[in-house]
Structure 1
C-alpha cells in the first residue's frame, strides 16, 4: 500500500485551483496553501491514513495538513482517545486539533445520525472554501453503505454510496484515498509499520446498524463470496456513473421548471405535468435537493406529485416532511423550510411607528420581519407624497382583506385580498409585506404599489420606497 500516492491520486482528480491571496509585495502574489484536513478518530483506519499523510506532507509542502479529532464525550475513554491522537500527531510531525462537541440525545433520534451530524459540523469549522476533507473509509465501509442503502430502499444515488472524490458543502471537497483497500489490507499495513491505534468499544455494539452489518452480516457474506466487498464497490461505481448522467440531464431540464420567488425557487406544476411519471419523480427530487432539502422516499415522492398535480384547483395543499413544508399556489409548488414555517406560525408583527419625517427620510428603517425599508427622495416615476407635519406615520403588516385600495397603476379600486390574488402573492407571504400608513390610512404596499390619491404632485419631490430582505 502506498497511501501517500493514493492521496495524491485523489487530489489529481480535483479541478484546477484558481484562488489567489492578496499581493505580498509589489506585483508578487502567493497561492494560498490548501488545507488538507483528516477526520482523525485514532482507530486503525484513520491511524494508517494519518501515517500516510505524514509522508505525503513531507513531499508536498504546498498543502497545510491537519488532523482533527472530534471528542463526542459519549465514552468514558473519550479523554484517553484524545490524548492518544495528540501523542500520535507528534510522532507523525502533524498538527492536531481536538474539537469537543455535544451529542444531544432524544427519543426517536438516532445516536449514530446525531453524532455524525455534529462531527461533520466540527470538521467543517476547520475548512475554508476550496479546502479538502479526508476520511478513512475503505472497501468494507463501502459495502456497509451499499447494504444500508438497500435496507432503506434508496435508488441509484444512494446505491452509488461513497466516491473517492466528491463535492462537499458546496465549496469544499471530500477525498477517500483508502476506498480501494480492504479492512484486511489496512490491518496488515498497521501491523507492518507497528502503528498504535485505539479500539472504540461502541464498535462492538450490534444495536447500531453498521455494527450489526460489520459483525454479523458481512463476515457471513465474505465467507460465501470472498470478493463481495470489491464487487459491491464496482456496483456502486456503476450506479454513480448512471447517476451522473441523470444529474446532467436534470441540470439541463430543471431550470425551465423553476422560477425565483423571494429567497427560494418555485416549481412550475404545469410544465412538470408535461413530463412522464419517471421524469416527474426525478425532477421533483432534483428540485428539492437544489433547494437544500432531503429528497423524499419513493412513497413520499408519489404522494407529493399526486397532491401537487392532481388535487382540485381550489384545494389547499400542504405536505410536511422532516425538513420541508410543501404548498401549492397558482400552479406553483412552494418548498419552505420547516423551521421558517414554524417560526412564522401565528406570529403577529408589531406596528412600527415612524417618529417624524426625518426618520422616514433616514434611508433605512429596520422591520420586525428582518427586512429593511429603504427610502429616498424622488421626482420622477411613482413617488409617494411626504406626510404632513400632523400626520402620524406607521408601518403595519396586516390589514383586512376587504380594505379598498387603488394602486397608482390602476384606474379602479379593488379589495386588498383581490389585489394579492392578482399579484400571485401566496397567502402565507402576505403578512410580511410592509404597509405604510398615514394616520392609519394605507398609502403604500412597499414593493408593490402606492395609493393613487397619495402620489406626489407633478414637479414636486416625493418618496421612493423599496424593500431589502435580510
Structure 2
C-alpha cells in the first residue's frame, strides 16, 4: 500500500499535475483509495482532489450510494461531480458498457493536466486476464491493465493499487474502520467477471496461494512482447504510410506473418481508434492484400472500407452511391460545395484552364463517367476505365470525382484531365476551375 505515497507523488511532479480526479464508486476499493489520497494531501497540500461518481440507475441501492458519496465528500470538503446515466438495458455485457460510459465522462470533465486515479487492484488484473482468455485475445488483451496509461494524448490515468490484492485492501479498510457501500450485484455470477471472481479465483488461490502474483507476472511478460512488436510495427508504418489512411503494403510481404498481423492491427487502430478483431486482421491479409491483381477487394469495418489498389491498401469511409446525383452550378462567382466533404469547386486563377461555357450552357456536376472519351494531349479515344488506370485513380475514388459538364457534354475532371471534344474545341476563351479537396490532393 506504500505505492500511493511514493510513485504517485513522483508522477504528479513529472507531469506537473496539481489536480487529481478519482473515480469513486462508493465501494471498499475506491473508499480506501480516497482515504489514501486524503492522507497524501496532508503531506502535499498543493494537490487538489476532485471526486467523480457515476450513477447508472441500474441497482436498487444506487440512490443510497449517491447519498453516501455526498456525505463523504462533505466530510472531506471535496468537490463531488455526480453524473446520472439513463438506465442501461444491456445485461450480459453491462460492466463493459458502463466502463465505456464512465471513461467518456472522465474525458469530458477532466481538467488540463489533471490526473485520473482508479482503484483497480491485483484481483481485477487477474479477472481481466481470464476475460481476455475467454475472448481468445492475443498478447495485447492478455497484457491487462497498466499502472500508468493515457486515455488520450495528455490525459494520464494511474492505477496505484494494481499490485495490491483485494485481501490487503479489505484488511486495511477494517483496520481503519472505514465506511463504504456494499454492492450486492457483485455476488451475481450471471456476470462473467463476478463468476471469475467468486467461482474461479478462490479455487486457484486455494491450490496455488501465489496465483494472483504469477498471473500478474504473465500479463507483464505479454506487455513486454507487445511493446517490442508495436515498436517494430511503428517503425514500418512511419516509413510506409503516405497518409494515415494509405499504407504501402508491398514491403510488408518480406516480413514474417506475425509482424504483418501486428502492422495491420496497428494501422487499423490508428485510423479507427478501436482494436480490430483477429478475424478482421486475417481477412485483410488474405482477402485484400493477397487477392488477385485485377481484383477489387473490400472489407467493411465499423463505418469504413479497407480496399487495395496496386501496392497500397486504403481505409476510406463508407458512402452511399451518388452516381445519379447532378449538381447545378448556377453562379460560378461563388464556390460550389460538394456532398460528403468532397470539398468544393471554385473559379479562380490557379485552377485548371478549361473552355468557358456559352451563355445558355448549364454547368452541371456529375459523379459518374463511362464509355469512351478523348482527353486533351492524347490521340484517339479510350475507355474511361483505362484513363482512370493511367492516372492511378483507385476504383472507389472514381465516383467521388466531380465531373464538369456543359449541358450533356463532358468537359473536365478538375485537376485530373480535360476532355478533347467538339464542346471544348469550339470556344477559345477560357476560365479556371479548381477542385479544392483533401481527396484529390492525396490520390
TM-score range, shorter chain: 0.7 to 0.9
* Structure 2 spans left out of the alignment, 5+ residues: none
Out of 55, 66, 69, the position equivalent to 1:82 is 66
Query: For 1:349 and 1:162, how far apart are their aligned partners in 2?
Result: 50
Query: For 1:162 and 1:305, how far apart are their aligned partners in 2?
Result: 29
The answer to whether the 8 Å contact 2:55/2:66 transfers is yes
Superposed CA offset, 1:8-53 (max 9, x none) = 2562595x56xxxxxxxxxxxxxxx654322211111111212222
Query: For 1:158 and 1:296, how far apart are their aligned partners in 2?
Result: 12
**1:351 and 2:326 correspond:** yes
Query: For 2:279 and 2:10, how far apart are their aligned partners in 1?
Result: 37
**1:280 and 2:260 correspond:** yes
The answer to whether the 8 Å contact 1:134/1:175 transfers is yes
CA positional deviation for 1:172: 1.8
Residue matched to 2:367:
397
Query: For 1:88 and 1:351, how far apart are their aligned partners in 2?
Result: 64
SS at match of 1:291: helix
- Superposed, 1:115-194 pairs within 5 Å as 115-127=98-110, 130-194=113-177
The answer to whether the 8 Å contact 1:269/1:308 transfers is no
Residue matched to 1:383:
353
- The TM-score with structure 1 as length reference comes to 0.82
The answer to whether the 8 Å contact 2:352/2:414 transfers is no
Query: For 1:172 and 1:409, how far apart are their aligned partners in 2?
Result: 55
> CA distance change for structure 1 residues 457 and 389 in 2, over 3 Å: closer, same or farther?
closer
> CA distance change for structure 1 residues 272 and 192 in 2, over 3 Å: closer, same or farther?
same
> CA distance change for structure 1 residues 428 and 129 in 2, over 3 Å: closer, same or farther?
farther
Residue matched to 1:24:
none
* Structure 1 spans left out of the alignment, 5+ residues: 18-32
CA positional deviation for 1:324: 5.3
- The TM-score with structure 2 as length reference comes to 0.87
The answer to whether the 8 Å contact 1:382/1:455 transfers is no
Residue matched to 2:338:
367
The answer to whether the 8 Å contact 2:229/2:259 transfers is no
The answer to whether the 8 Å contact 2:411/2:419 transfers is yes
SS at match of 1:115: helix
Name the count of aligned residue pairs. Answer: 437
The answer to whether the 8 Å contact 1:372/1:468 transfers is yes
> CA distance change for structure 1 residues 66 and 422 in 2, over 3 Å: closer, same or farther?
farther
CA positional deviation for 1:461: 6.9
CA positional deviation for 1:82: 1.9
- Superposed, 1:17-416 pairs within 5 Å as 35-57=19-41, 59-60=43-44, 63-102=47-86, 105=89, 110-127=93-110, 130-260=113-243, 264-292=244-272, 294-321=274-301, 325-336=305-316, 340-341=317-318, 344-346=319-321, 350-356=325-331, 360-362=332-334, 364-378=335-349, 382-399=352-369, 401-402=370-371, 404-406=373-375, 408=376, 410=378, 413-416=381-384
Moved more, 156-165 or 323-332: 323-332
Superposed CA offset, 1:150-204 (max 9, x none) = 2223222222211111122334221111112111111122223322211222211
Moved more, 58-67 or 187-196: 58-67
Superposed CA offset, 1:38-97 (max 9, x none) = 221111111121222233445545554321111212123222222221221222222111
Query: For 1:251 and 1:455, how far apart are their aligned partners in 2?
Result: 52
The answer to whether the 8 Å contact 2:58/2:88 transfers is no
Query: For 2:434 and 2:425, how far apart are their aligned partners in 1?
Result: 12
Query: For 1:78 and 1:273, how far apart are their aligned partners in 2?
Result: 55
Query: For 2:11 and 2:321, how far apart are their aligned partners in 1?
Result: 51
Query: For 2:290 and 2:379, how far apart are their aligned partners in 1?
Result: 37
The answer to whether the 8 Å contact 1:67/1:94 transfers is yes
